[in-house]
Amino acid sequence: MSYRAPVAEMRFAMEASAGLDALGATPGGAPDGETLTQILDAAADFAGREIAPLNWPADRAGASLENGVVRTAPGFVAAYRRYVDNGWNALPFDSAYGGQDLPWSVAVAVQEMWQAASLSFSLCPLLTQGAVELLAHHGNQGQKDAYLAKLVSGEWTGTMNLTEPQAGSDVGALKTRARRDAANDSALGEAYRIVGTKIFITYGEHDMAENIVHMVLARVPEAPPGPKGVSLFLVPKFLPNGQRNDLRCVSLEHKLGINASPTCVMAFGDDGGALGWRIGQEGRGLECMFTMMNNARLTVGLQGIAIAERAYQAACAYAHARVQGRAADSASHEAVAIVRHADVQRMLLDMKSKIEAARALAYSAHLSLDLAARAEDPALRRYHQLRVDLLTPVVKAWATDIGVAAASTGVQIHGGVGFVEETGAAQHYRDARILPIYEGTNGIQANDLAFRKVARDGGAAAHAFAEEVAAIEASLVASGDADLAAIAATLGPAREALARATVSVVASAKDDPQAVGAIAVPYLELFGIVAGGALIAKGAVEASRRMRSGADNAAFFAARIAVARFFADTALARAPGFVHTIAAGRGSAARMAAALA
């Protein structure tokens, strides 16, 4: 049940698949090789030594609520304090508020380590980083001065308060109220009293930080119905004068997984109203909150990769240790480790190839996040902003589906003992299952991709990405390597399938949105397969180049090519089959409506 961060594979994905060197021409650049090595090695040590050992016992212990006080699992408070003291929370943030100004392209690998070490523990900094991004983009100067430095360091933590019992994912249906309290106006902005109940609030109350800064969506009086009537408010647990605010955790959810992460029902305003200050313009709250949500969606996608990696490492270790049955390729009747069995090898390689494809895609999306902010050419900034917008729902949904599938395969490799909690395989599966649900279900992500990110611009961003895939395909062919040529032969039809599917989505979006909704999920899956396959193929080209140049560790580079080839043979090869499903969307929608009537 131990965890060892795959630093070499992470760095390879960062440099070869994502293209970290593109940051060299931007203000701030990228850390030099020695600095990058120090960061990744230190983070790997902290994740493996400090956080990972807490994962299984924390799942057993869970979080508890006593007399309004939430106690986290044993070890979490001390580990979080060391996390803050070592400056890990501050990596990608503005040095003006105590950050280290590192690119997200570097921070992404470090965050994957926290999440793989313990999904429950990592959820606290995940929400805090989103709160930092939200305030940095939308807060007024008084709010930034009062809260950003503490949030950047991690001394204070942040939350996202959207969901209500009657609203679920329909945030526009929320009922939490906000009334003006001009007597408390200050440099923080216009003050309000917040009254309402929020559910599913991750780390809404805990004992790991001195203060918790809640980002709360609520309605002002006379606000119009729907999303345009929602405003956003900063509501701290402790007010600037040190007094406790009028908010509390009334219960903790009993969940399938992530048991050590306190998921709170929060009550605001039991004693007249929790004091908060509006962020941004009235009625623009959901727009502001999307900054935090999009940050969280990319990071949740990363969680899918992280839990898949953790499940893979456990399954691989078990497969090497478990002796059962004889090898099919041997005349001996002596029992062998199950890793010798072809089907176990297939399952492990399936996990491994999907992890590397999803990691390449997530790291590439984070590179675009950096270039959208740092590139000096406005046209390049716009290109990468459109690219990260396009890829965000794919990273969130496709990578989290991979996380669930890999965790399930991990249980399968363990066999009967995988169904027993003590091995830890079951925990990975339970923890992974929330990922396709929170931060917008994967169905919502698929609709976002199809309608907002593809149909809205006539498929321009999707077709621009397809041109990237075509360039990778050309580099595979030009390499002269037989394995790379085989990958190209599979990538080409997959790219063409995605192009045809994109045309179909754009054509149907206006006149038959129900049909597009019916095929949005397979369209997103197709997009993920093609994008992830192309980006690990890009890495395979670099691996081949390094092998030809006589670089050390040829076995490592050969493995990257083998993994990319396996993904092409087993995943990319399926891509053309999606075209029929997507083309049949209109009929599928009608049949579903008839069958479910």
- Known catalytic residues are 439
Secondary element (H or E) of residue 457? none
CA-to-CA distance for 279 and 471, rounded, in angstroms?
Answer: 43
The answer to whether the beta carbons of residues 166 and 221 sit under 8 Å apart is: no
For tokens 């907002």, the residue is 452
The answer to whether the beta carbons of residues 94 and 152 sit under 8 Å apart is: yes
Residue 70 DSSP label: E
CA-to-CA distance for 159 and 372, rounded, in angstroms?
Answer: 26
Secondary element (H or E) of residue 157? strand 156-161
DSSP string, 83-151: HHHTTGGGTTS-GGGT-----HHHHHHHHHHHHHH-HHHHHHHHHHHHHHHHHHHH--HHHHHHHHHHH
The answer to whether the beta carbons of residues 431 and 310 sit under 8 Å apart is: no
The contacts of residue 337 (CB under 8 Å, 6+ apart) are: 319, 320, 321, 322, 323
The answer to whether the beta carbons of residues 135 and 151 sit under 8 Å apart is: yes
Pairing of strands 211-219, 156-161: parallel
Residue 10 to residues 64, 106, 359: CA-CA distances in angstroms? 35, 10, 8
| Cα dihedral 456, 461, 467, 469 sign | negative
- Ramachandran quadrant class, 336 (left: phi over 0; alpha: psi -120 to 50; beta: rest): beta
Q: How many CB atoms lie within 10 A of CB 557?
A: 22
Pairing of strands 335-337, 323-326: antiparallel
CA-to-CA distance for 470 and 544, rounded, in angstroms?
Answer: 19
Q: Which residues pair with 66 in a beta bridge?
A: 69
Residue 383 to residues 3, 368, 369: CA-CA distances in angstroms? 37, 9, 11
The contacts of residue 138 (CB under 8 Å, 6+ apart) are: 232, 279, 280, 288, 291
CA-to-CA distance for 20 and 102, rounded, in angstroms?
Answer: 12
For tokens 């299952």, the residue is 433
Tell me if residue 499 falls in helix, strand or coil.
helix
